[in-house]
Amino acid sequence: MLRKFELLTIIVFFAFSTSLFADQVTLKNGDRLTGTVVKSDGKTVVLHTDAGGDITLKFDAIQEVKTDKELHVSVKGGKAVAGPVTGTTDGKLQVATRDGNVTVAIADVTVIRNDAEEVAYLHSLHPKFTQNWTAGANVGFSVARGNSETENLALAFNAARTTLHDKIVLYATSINTTNDLAQPPTSKTVANIETGGLRYERNMNPKLFVFGAADFMANALQYLDLRAVYSGGFGFHAIKNDATQFNVFGGINYTHETYSNGAVLVPANPPNPAIFASYGVTHRFAALTLGEELTQKLGKTTVLTENLTFYPNLQQTGEYRGVFNLGTVTKISKWLGWQNQFGDIYVSNPPTGSKQNDVLLTTGLNFSFTH
Domains and CATH numbers, the chain: 35-125 (2.30.30), 133-370 (2.40.128.130)
pLDDT band at 262 (very low <50, low <70, confident <90, very high): low
> Which range has highest mean pLDDT (14-23, 268-277, 340-349)?
340-349
CA–CA dist 88, 90 (Å, integer): 7
- 296, pLDDT greater than 70: yes
Asked if residues 25 and 32 have their Cβ atoms less than 8 Å apart, the reply is yes
pLDDT in the model for residue 19:
45
Distance in angstroms between the alpha carbons of the first and the last residue of the chain: 57
pLDDT in the model for residue 16:
45
pLDDT in the model for residue 274:
46
Residue 223 backbone class (left: φ over 0; alpha: ψ -120 to 50; beta: rest): left
Give the mean pLDDT of the chain: 84
What lies within 8 Å, CB to CB, of 182 at 6+ separation is 188, 190
Single out the residue of 83, 88, 80 nearest to residue 24, CA to CA. 88
Q: Percent of the chain having pLDDT more than 90?
A: 37
Q: Percent of the chain having pLDDT more than 70?
A: 85
Average pLDDT estimate for 295-324: 94
Residue 230, classed as helix, strand or coil, is strand
Whether residue 184 is preceded by a cis peptide bond, meaning omega within 30 degrees of 0, is no
pLDDT tens-digit profile of 313-335? 999 888 999 999 999 999 999 89
pLDDT in the model for residue 12:
47
pLDDT in the model for residue 219:
87
- Whole-angstrom CA distances from 335 to 138, 295, 366, 368 are 12, 19, 8, 5
pLDDT tens-digit profile of 272-294? 444 444 557 889 999 999 999 99
pLDDT in the model for residue 184:
57
| Least confident interval from 81-90, 143-152, 356-365 | 143-152
CA–CA dist 354, 191 (Å, integer): 13
- 10, pLDDT greater than 80: no
CA–CA dist 210, 171 (Å, integer): 19
**φ/ψ (deg, to 5) at 354:** -115, 155
User: How many other CB atoms are there within 10 angstroms of residue 214's CB atom?
Assistant: 15
pLDDT in the model for residue 359:
85
CA–CA dist 27, 320 (Å, integer): 59
Higher pLDDT pick, 179 / 225: 225
Residue 255, classed as helix, strand or coil, is strand
Q: Strands 32-40 and 275-277: what pairing?
A: unpaired
Cα 75–81–87 angle (5° rounding)? 90
- 246, pLDDT greater than 70: yes
| Least confident interval from 69-73, 178-182, 196-200 | 178-182
| Least confident interval from 8-17, 41-50, 56-65, 96-105 | 8-17
| Least confident interval from 133-147, 171-185, 218-232, 283-297 | 171-185
